[in-house]
Amino acid sequence: AQSVTQLDSQVPVFEEAPVELRCNYSSSVSVYLFWYVQYPNQGLQLLLKYLSGSTLVESINGFEAEFNKSQTSFHLRKPSVHISDTAEYFCAVSEFGSYKLSFGAGTTVTVRA
């Protein structure tokens, strides 16, 4: 069965500093991987996804994630964060052919000036 572990529950970071959010998944078959962001009092929005091809995927607002099959990881990074990046971030996995998306517990990123 598919599952996701986000290794950090809270990540405080200063504005313009880099940030990395760690995500490991477990599955016995091939998977699709997603990162979602949730701003306060809102629903989740897709940040980026890995389907196939290049293992490095990017979002339009400067985030990137790298799929590492051997380490079963899909860590999210941003080289320089803004105050507006303060949010909760969720890693999610779906096995090929599955109807279900499994989420990690989430990582709260707080960006301070």
Partner 1 sequence: NAGVTQTPKFRVLKTGQSMTLLCAQDMNHEYMYWYRQDPGMGLRLIHYSVGEGTTAKGEVPDGYNVSRLKKQNFLLGLESAAPSQTSVYFCASSSGATGAGSPLHFGNGTRLTVT
Which segments within 27-101 are labelled E, that is strand?
31-38, 44-50, 56-58, 64-68, 73-78, 87-95
When asked if residue 42 is in the footprint of partner 1 (CB under 8 A), the reply is: yes
When asked if residue 106 is in the footprint of partner 1 (CB under 8 A), the reply is: yes
Dist CA 68 CA 76 (whole Å)? 12
Sole window of 12-20, 38-46, 65-73, 76-84 interacting with partner 1 (rule: CB under 8 A): 38-46
When asked if residue 7 is in the footprint of partner 1 (CB under 8 A), the reply is: no
When asked if residue 104 is in the footprint of partner 1 (CB under 8 A), the reply is: yes
- Torsion-angle region of residue 53: left (phi > 0), alpha (psi -120 to 50) or beta? left
Nearest CB to partner 1, comparing residues 27 and 73: 27
Largest CA distance in the chain: 44
When asked if residue 32 is in the footprint of partner 1 (CB under 8 A), the reply is: yes
Total residue count of the chain as it appears in this document: 113
- Per CB under 8 A, residues contacting partner 1 are 4, 6, 9, 32, 34, 36, 41-46, 49, 51, 90, 94-106
